[in-house]
Every structure is written in C-alpha cells, then in structure tokens.
Amino acid sequence: MLTGIHFLLTYMCNLECEDCFVYSGPKAKGTFSLSQIRKVLDEATKIGTIKWVYFEGGEPFLFYPIMLEGLKIARNRGFKTGVVTNSYFATSEEDAEIWLKPLCKLGVSDVSISDDSFHYEDEKDNPAKRALSAAKRLSMPVGSICIGKPTIETGIDKEQDKGTPVIGGGAMFRGRAVEKLAQELPKRRWEEFTECPYEDLKEPERVHLDSYGNVHLCQGLSMGNMWKTPLSRIVKNYNGDSHPICGPLIKGGPVLLAKEYKVKHEDKYVDACHFCYIIRLALIDRFPQYLTPRQVYGLE
C-alpha cells in the first residue's frame, strides 16, 4: 500500500556527491513549480492511503519559499511532512535556526540531515552538524543520514559463503555511485543477483516524483508519467508483474531482466543494484517511458 510521496523538488544541488543516486549538481535541471505541487497533492488526497509527504532533491532548500509553501499545503491537507537536506545554509548555528524556525512552525514531522564524508570533510564542524544542533535546540524531530565510503569486509554476511567480500558503508550503486565508486571494488558473479533486495516493486510503499512527471519506483525506474495520466490513476492501475522492467525484477531480479531482453553484460558486479543499473542503462532507449529521465543515468 502506497503511504509516502517524496517530491524530488529539484535535481539541482550545490554539491556533486560521488554517491548521488540521481546525478544531482549545480547544473542539474528539473524543479517543481508551486502549481505542480498543488496538483500532486490533489492527487495524493484522492489516492486515500498517503500519510507522509517529503521534500527532497537535489537540495530542496535551494528553492526555499516553494519548499515552505509545499510543506504548508501538505500539512493543511492532513499529511505528515518531512525534508531531507545537506544543510548548506548553516553557516552558523544562529543562521541555521533562522532557516529552520519556519519548518518548526509548520509542524514538520521529520528533518533528515546528510552528514558524512561525501558531503563534508570536516567531521567535527560542518553545516550538517550546525543544523543538527540548531534543530535540537528548536526541539525539532531530526536525525542524520550518514553514508560511509565503501569498505571491503569479509565473511560477515551470513547469507553469503564465508570469505565472500562484503561491501560496507551503505552506498547504493545507482547513478553517480556506479561511475565514481564501483570500479575498484570486489565483484560477485552476475548469476547471484536473482532478486531486488531494497525496493518492493510489487507493492511499493513510497514513490519519488520529479518535475518532469516521472513517478519513480526506484531512481530512474518509472511507474508512469503523472502529467500525462493522473497520479491517482497511475497508482490504482499499477501492476508490477506486467510492468516491462519491474515484472522480470520481481520474478527473478536483475538476472532475469538481463535474460528476458538478452542484454550483453560483464560477468561480475558489486551488488544487485550495480547489475540492475547497468542492465537498465542498456535498455534505456528501448523503454524510454519507463527508464527515465536520462539525466539520472548520467546521459544529459
């Protein structure tokens, strides 16, 4: 049952992190207008099961007034709200409080702050830590998102054979992470990846939406386009088993997706996400309405 709507308010970001799922950066395009946000929230109300509305990016605070108004509208319609930010604005704790107070007044239910070495080198004093401290002083519900650089461990995954390399750190090998992080890591045979370990593609609990209208089940894997078909109808009519990309992934993971469409590929990959992303990239011209937008695959 779908309970969460996550606005990718913008693909633009002040940073270009190596682990970014969607290739965000200063030159990235695609930002919601306020009228588009209203239209989505109208549809979210019609769906009837939505409880949470998040504003993410990119970096949503780059479009601060639109983000605030979107949070206000969502809250007034009875949704719990949250934001995800890198807190670039926190040049001091005092400044961070000024930025965060309006969210506090709007009753935002969750503030997630990215605080890791991908975002900031200084572990003791950085914008994320200043914002975290300010949010706590304001008694806001706040937490940190900490993704570590990939580390190579051995034999700690009980589901794998003893001695098999395990990649730690929490990075997902989608988007820019495939380009920047995967190359030197140990890899496993492609035949191992017979399921999607992270996303429930059959009965998704949340989707990400971008300003182009894409309804993402996973970054770059679309359920449909909400500017062409109303979001409530897309959700109601969605059948994962009959989706040309999700169907094989549900039945047999990236392995079946590659076999289904006879995609030529390498023998080894870091994990299932890595393999899936590479297969989808190979199929992007064949299924442009489902594997979109191209910029999430680093193609624009």
Q: Topology of domain 4-85+148-189+203-238+289-297, per CATH? A: TIM Barrel (3.20.20)
Cβ(169)–Cβ(147) under 8 Å?
yes
Residue linked to tokens 């890899």: 187
pLDDT tens digit sequence for 120-139: 777 778 999 999 999 999 99
Give one DSSP letter per residue of 72-106, joined into a string.
Answer: HHHHHTT-EEEEEE--TT-SSHHHHHHHHHHHHHT
- Token pair listed for 39: 């239209």
pLDDT tens digit sequence for 165-212: 666 767 778 999 999 988 888 999 999 999 999 999 999 999 999 999
pLDDT at 164: 63
pLDDT at 171: 76
pLDDT tens digit sequence for 4-38: 999 999 999 999 999 898 999 999 999 999 999 99
pLDDT tens digit sequence for 212-221: 999 999 999 9
d(C-alpha 255, C-alpha 192), whole Å: 8
Model pTM greater than 0.75?
yes
Phi, psi of 153 (to 5 degrees): -120, 170
